[in-house]
Amino acid sequence: MARIPEHPHLARLRASLDAFDATAERLDAWGRYIAAHLVDGGRLLAAGNGGSAAEAQHLTAELVGRYEHDRAPLSAIALHADSSSVTAIANDYGAEEVFARQVRAHGRPGDVLVLLSTSGTSPNILAAAEAGSAAGMRVWGLTGAAPNPLALACDDAVSVESDVTCTVQEVHLVAVHLLASAVEAGLAELEFERAVPDSPSVARSQGRA
């Protein structure tokens, strides 16, 4: 019996996921920073356009709600979701400012700004990256193929090596779930360390091992 060829859409996704596997360690580091910062009262902001807006809101929902485990809620805001602010800012200042102005309003030093763009060239996302850097935030990007302007504007960026928008968005969803999982793992470690201050991990961090 002849083998049925793999659907081109699935073949592209599989190839991109295989390449993306190398970024898992960086996403884990992002998640652990988010856990440590947000558990002490920090905030995460996220933004994107179109499908990337949906991915940004998916990320914030996982943090305010939960991913896999019951835990305290974390402060995370999807900037496109405040329709009154978005339309007011667009009307008064132009579409390029819809995210940047909110970043300047809500972002504080050390807070996290996650920006999603399949092209890495969206003017309002680039303006948000500039505003986040000026506010002293950690600015991270999820982009399509690098190099691109957003990846260069961020403190760190994870890129999907594909020029097909839907493939990039699908891999970004995987990135969102990897990030949410890393946040919850980081929170669990912090809870253990605070409950057991003489644990080996705490001793190592304090040079007592």
- What token pair was written down for 34? 């988010």
157 DSSP β-pair partners: 141
Q: Give the pLDDT mean for 179-206.
A: 78
Q: Give the pLDDT mean for 51-72.
A: 96
pLDDT at residue 24, as a whole number: 92
% of the chain surpassing 90 pLDDT:
88
d(CA 41, CA 163): 38
> How do residues 130-146 score in pLDDT, each as one tens digit?
999 999 999 999 999 99
Kindly report the average pLDDT of the chain as a whole number.
93
d(CA 201, CA 188): 13
Q: Give the pLDDT mean for 63-68.
A: 95
Which three-class secondary structure state does DSSP give residue 57?
helix
Instruction: Using pLDDT thresholds of 50, 70 and 90, give the confidence band for residue 14.
Output: very high
d(CA 115, CA 55): 10
Q: Give the pLDDT mean for 120-128.
A: 98
d(CA 187, CA 56): 21
pLDDT of 85 strictly over 90: yes
Which three-class secondary structure state does DSSP give residue 6?
coil
pLDDT at residue 200, as a whole number: 58
Instruction: Using pLDDT thresholds of 50, 70 and 90, give the confidence band for residue 195.
Output: confident
Q: Give the pLDDT mean for 19-26.
A: 92
Instruction: Using pLDDT thresholds of 50, 70 and 90, give the confidence band for residue 92.
Output: very high
d(CA 134, CA 137): 8
